Structure 1
Amino acid sequence: MLAVLYDVHGNLPALDAVLADARVAGASRWLLGGDYALFGAWPAETIARLGELTAAIWIRGNGERWVNAPAEALPPARAAARWCADQLGPDTVARLAALPEQAVLDGVRYCHASPVSDMIGVLPESQPGEGALFIGVREPRLVFGHTHLPLERVTDQGLELLNPGSVGMPFDRDPRAAYALVGDDGTVQRRRVAYDHAASAAAVRAALGADGELVARRIEQARVDPEMG
């Protein structure tokens, strides 16, 4: 059983809840889809916990790129990216930034936002022109995150799309941590796990002060605000 985790965002209590749930369900392999540490109150602890996983494949998200080069982040995220880099240290920051952008496992392609960009994501409802995001994908299933919005649908061309949702900061108005399990036969279970999301929001405020307010609201409300993008 493969557990697919995206967008943890330094939310250690959410991650621990997901790991416990996945292990009880029989997960023995892990696909880690990027945006591991940025914005949460526990960046170093989150990376350490993920580092304990055996049989894990890691790919890079825009968060790892931003922490490595805060000037590339959207302006509201730059202070958080600098703080996260300080917490992780230069060696870890560089290692995460050097992760591959995509991986193919069991005949499935995994990327962070889409195959063409770590920032251009796929929405739950089909959008005009979205097929340009999938050019060159030869696998029957494409898995991604980034939008923090779970989805599972098939394109007109027959490509299976899966976004398991965000472990640490869901945006679908359900604050429970989201992830997916993939069975050996390819079947997908999208799962939600309750944890103390209000405490995680409070921890962000304590760690980042005013720079963490938007993130704290997002964790509390499980929805996106326009300020950060």
Structure 2
Amino acid sequence: MIQIAVFSDVHGNLPALDVVLKDIEQRGIHQKFCLGDLVDFAPWGNEVIERIQNLNVPCLMGNHDERIAFDLPVFPLSKHSQEETNARFIAIDHSKQHITEENKKFLSGLPFHLKLNYKMGSKHWNIQLVHSSLESNDTYLYESEGDEVFMNMLEDSKADLIVMGHTHLSFTKQFENKKWAVNCGSVGRSKEENRLASYLILTLDDEKIVPEIVQLSYPLEETVRQIEESGVPNYYAAFLRNEKVSIL
């Protein structure tokens, strides 16, 4: 049996990341992977990047990482309210100003995809890691998406299981051919009602893969307080408290 942990979308939330990393360690899971979006929306972007570096966690380039690394322009999204649009512009600008040049260089060198192959007895398991999809790191694929979308991704990647993040909403879907599409949720900015830090454990043996979504509480009020004392808009503090803000 092999266990691996996969997490995504930390978004500068160091307290949430540390709780997830501690849980992974306590479970004795030595292999862990990050699907990206280390920055924006909480004040610890540099610290999160450095934690990932120091632990040598293989990490993909999320859309937010790419924007900060290459100073890409920010465009409003039609699904956002005016309040969220304004807050988003300020929060991303905060990252552009405060993420160090060394850390931006680290982000710029992150891979787009990662394919894993594990041999268990005579069985090879192929696991495809993406931030959001094979073609883009900014595609929103929800659990409600038609099965054929995920089946095509599995076929294109020749994988038994594909893991994604980006939407901040976790799910596991198994298909008739026993293959899986999984979203590991978000560590630092969950859009689920409970706002817990979410990550994925994959357990592999020579017969099957079992995905498990783990959700953990973390020092939310302290996190919120530090967001409110930083240059990150209070919108993101209210969001973590699940107060009246748009979650899309």
TM-based fold match above 0.5: yes
Post-superposition offset of 1:131? 5.1
Given the superposition, is the C-alpha separation of residues 111 and 2 from structure 1 closer, same or farther in structure 2, using an over 3 Å criterion? Answer: same
Post-superposition offset of 1:214? 2.6
Query: Separation in 2 of the partners of 1:154 and 1:222?
Result: 33
Deviations 1:199-219 (A, max 9, x none): 21222222125xx23322222
Aligned residues: 224
User: Aligned letter for 2:33?
Assistant: L
> Quick check: 42-51 or 124-133, which moved more?
124-133
For the 8 Å contact 1:176–1:197, the answer to whether it is kept is no
User: Counterpart of 1:165 in 2: which secondary structure?
Assistant: coil
**RMSD after superposition:** 2.4
Q: Which has the higher helix share?
A: 1
Given the superposition, is the C-alpha separation of residues 198 and 124 from structure 1 closer, same or farther in structure 2, using an over 3 Å criterion? Answer: farther
- Listed as ranges, the gaps of 5+ residues in structure 1 are none
Q: TM-score, normalised by structure 1?
A: 0.87
The equivalent of 1:118 in structure 2 is 137
Query: Separation in 1 of the partners of 2:111 and 2:4?
Result: 19
Given the superposition, is the C-alpha separation of residues 136 and 47 from structure 1 closer, same or farther in structure 2, using an over 3 Å criterion? Answer: same
Q: Any residues of structure 2 matched to 1:1-229 within 5 Å, and which?
A: 1-54=3-56, 56-75=57-76, 76=85, 77-106=88-117, 107-127=126-146, 130=149, 134=153, 136-155=156-175, 159-185=179-205, 186-209=209-232, 212-221=233-242, 225=246
- Listed as ranges, the gaps of 5+ residues in structure 2 are 77-84, 118-125
Query: Separation in 2 of the partners of 1:121 and 1:67?
Result: 20
The sequence identity of aligned pairs, in percent, is 23
User: Counterpart of 2:195 in 1: which secondary structure?
Assistant: coil
User: Counterpart of 1:79 in 2: which secondary structure?
Assistant: helix
Post-superposition offset of 1:23? 0.6
Query: Separation in 2 of the partners of 1:96 and 1:216?
Result: 25
User: Aligned letter for 2:173?
Assistant: R
Post-superposition offset of 1:94? 2.6
